[in-house]
Amino acid sequence: MTPDTLHGLLVLDKPAGLTSRAAVDGALRWFPRRTRLGHTGTLDPLATGVLVLCVGAATRLTEYIQRMAKTYRAGVVFGARSDTDDADGQVTATPGAVAPARTQVEEALRTFLGEIEQVPPAYSAAHVTGRRAYDLARRGEEVNLTPRKVTVYAIDVDHYEYPRLGLTVRCGKGTYIRALARDLGERLGCGGYIASLRRTRVGPFDESQAAPLDGERPPLLPLALAVADLPRLDVAAEEAARLRHGRPLPRDGFADGQEVAVFDGGELIAVARADPRERCLRPEKVFGG
């Protein structure tokens, strides 16, 4: 196969100790030279698990996968703090830390549900005056990050025996589990950091589909999975041709600005945006043809 014929999605099981970029570089060995390949959401070097890669035309759909809900299994250690908010940083014991009861932990966790404001870790890819926060932090410069709104859908306690707490967290785009562990420890007054982290699901992609980096490349998954969260519209061949030529498709019934995944015979042919004033869908991304 040539780079021009390789299009789809691949679920990688990222190993610990690698950046997401390094994992993508490792996956390049599975593909011909000049194949377009990118990931859809950074995992810290300490973290393992589901990293969705986009191949070929699928790289135009990364934003939709990035928006999808994610699920993590997290191991938190209480009684200490880390400058990176995880075990890869400099860990310092919290003087006089007192073990919180499980009921206290569960009560504190409930305050992190829903839409919350979260300050990203200083060692993160968040931007500060146009630069990555981790670049500033590594140079010893002060990092002042603005709180941002994130959504946490659910937090379950898997086990707790001080100082170790096991959690399953389901959250939205941009949520830092390191920051959640840090803030939980501060709320309980004992400090806390992430000791282990595994992403088990991103939208419809779960760890059962994830291929190890040192194994053989699995078959690519269809582009349609990248837009699984968008409303779906199936059209006739002549309507598909209209969209592929960049012409709006007469349609109403969608909210202003709503994105719609358009299919022809089961194949994703476009992502279009609704324009209710003109009662049409305007193609934004077109595939195939």
- Residues 75 and 194 placed together within one structural domain of the fold: yes
If you average pLDDT over residues 275-286, what whole number do you get?
96
Query: Among 48, 40, 22, 5, which Cα is nearest to 225's?
Result: 40
Structure tokens at 106: 């569960």
Q: CA–CA separation, 182 vs 178, rounded Å?
A: 6
Taking only the tens place, the pLDDT of each residue in 225-271 is 999 999 999 999 999 999 999 999 999 899 999 999 999 999 999 99
Taking only the tens place, the pLDDT of each residue in 143-185 is 567 899 999 999 999 999 999 999 999 999 999 999 999 999 9
Domain that includes residue 77, residue range: 70-199
- Residues 87 and 36 placed together within one structural domain of the fold: no
- Residues 110 and 50 placed together within one structural domain of the fold: no
3-state SS string for 35-46 = CCEEECCCCCCC
- Residues 154 and 216 placed together within one structural domain of the fold: no
Q: Which amino acid is at 168?
A: T
Statement: residue 137 has pLDDT above 50: no
N- to C-terminal Cα separation, the chain: 19
**Is position 44 annotated as part of the catalytic site?**
yes
Taking only the tens place, the pLDDT of each residue in 43-99 is 999 999 999 999 999 999 999 999 999 999 999 999 999 999 999 999 999 999 999
- Residues 266 and 172 placed together within one structural domain of the fold: no
What is the count of structural domains for the chain?
A: 3
Taking only the tens place, the pLDDT of each residue in 206-235 is 999 999 999 999 999 999 999 999 999 999
- Residues 179 and 211 placed together within one structural domain of the fold: no
- Residues 100 and 157 placed together within one structural domain of the fold: yes
Domain with residue 180: its CATH number is 3.30.2350.10
Percent of the chain with pLDDT strictly greater than 90: 85
Residue 121: its pLDDT value, please? 86
- Residues 47 and 99 placed together within one structural domain of the fold: no
Active-site annotation holder among 4, 13, 44, 252: 44
- Residues 59 and 159 placed together within one structural domain of the fold: no
Residue 287: its pLDDT value, please? 94
pTM for the full model? Answer: 0.91
Residues 267/288, Cβ–Cβ less than 8 Å: yes
Taking only the tens place, the pLDDT of each residue in 83-98 is 999 999 999 999 999 9
